[in-house]
Amino acid sequence: MRNDTAKKFLPLLCLLFLFAWLPFAEAGEGSDWNIRIGLGARYDAKYEGSDEMETRVLPLIDITWKDLVFLNPREGLGVHLYDDHGLKVSAGVGYVFGRDESDSDDLRGMGDIDDAAAANLKIKYAIGPITPYIGASRHLGDVDGTLVEAGVGGIVPLALMTGGMNSPGMGDGGLKGPALQFGVSATWADGDYMEGYFGVNSVQSSGSGYARYRPGSGFKSVDFKFGIIYPFAENWAVSARGGYSRLLGDAADSPIVKDDGRFSGGLFLSYRF
C-alpha cells in the first residue's frame, strides 16, 4: 500500500538535512550557499494516463553550494561537471516515485511499481533568459527504464526591459518583480520503461481484465509548462504553475490510459535564505 506523504518524502528530506544543516545559519547574501525552501499543493492526475485527478501537498526544496553542488526534487543530489559561457553539464542521483494499484480502480490487478533511484545526466545552454536542454534519466528499480527529455525553458522577468532583473535580496533568485516561467519538451522512453508503465503482461491481464499489451520504445509524451513567480517581500515569493501533457504513440494506446491529455497546476510559497 502507498505510504503517506511524509513517508514518501523521507529519503529526500534526509538528503536535505545532511546537505544543509551545517551551512544553514550562514546562508544569504555573500554566502556560498543558496537555499530556497517552501510548501505548496499540486493538482494532477492520479497516474500518468488517468482521467482521475487529485491534490497533493508537496515540499519545495532548491539548494546549491558555490553553484557546484545542488539538491532539488527534479534533478536530485548532484554536481555541475562543467559550467562555462552558458554551457552547463550536470550529473546526479534522484528519487523516482512509483505507482500502486491502489491509486486507482483502473490499476487493479496491475501490481505495484516501487519507488526507485535514478541516475541523471543533463546538458543545458543558457541564451539570456532562454535555456535549451537535453537530459537522460536511468531508473534503477522495478522498472530499469531510460528516459531522454529534450526541451527549452526559461524565466523572463516582466521588468526585464527596465533593468530590474538582478536586484539582490528580492524574492525568488534576486527577482525584483513578477516573472513568467515557460517550458516545452518531448520525452523518449525505452522499451523497458514503456513495458513497465504502459504494458500489460499475462499476469496483469489475468488480474485486471485488460488485454495483453507490449509497447515498444519511442516518444512517450510532449509537455507544455507555464507559470508566474511573484516576489511579494524580501526573500519571499509565491509561484503559480500550470501545464499540459500529451501522451504519444504506444503510450497513448495502452489500455490503462483513460485520458491521453491532461492539465495540471500548482501553487507554492517559498523563502530564500
CATH number for domain 5-272, candidates 3.20.20.70, 2.40.160.40, 3.90.230.10, 3.40.50.300: 2.40.160.40
The tens digit of pLDDT for each residue in 202-252 reads 999 999 999 999 999 999 999 999 999 998 888 899 999 999 999 999 999
Question: Cell for 172?
Answer: 525568488
Q: Is the pLDDT of residue 162 over 80?
A: no
Closest CA to 189 of 124, 251, 121, 120: 251
Angle at 113 between CA 108 and CA 114, to 5 degrees: 135
User: pLDDT class for 158, splitting at 50, 70, 90?
Assistant: confident
Find where cell 545552454 sits.
125
Give one DSSP letter per residue of 77-130, joined into a string. EEEEEEEETTEEEEEEEEEE--B-GGG-GGGTTS--B--EEEEEEEEEE-BTTE
User: pLDDT class for 167, splitting at 50, 70, 90?
Assistant: very low
Angle at 21 between CA 20 and CA 26, to 5 degrees: 80
The answer for residues whose C-beta is within 8 angstroms of residue 258's C-beta and 6 or more apart is 49, 50, 51, 52, 106
- Within the chain, residue ranges assigned H as helices are 5-8, 10-20, 191-198, 202-208, 249-252
DSSP one-letter code for 217 = S
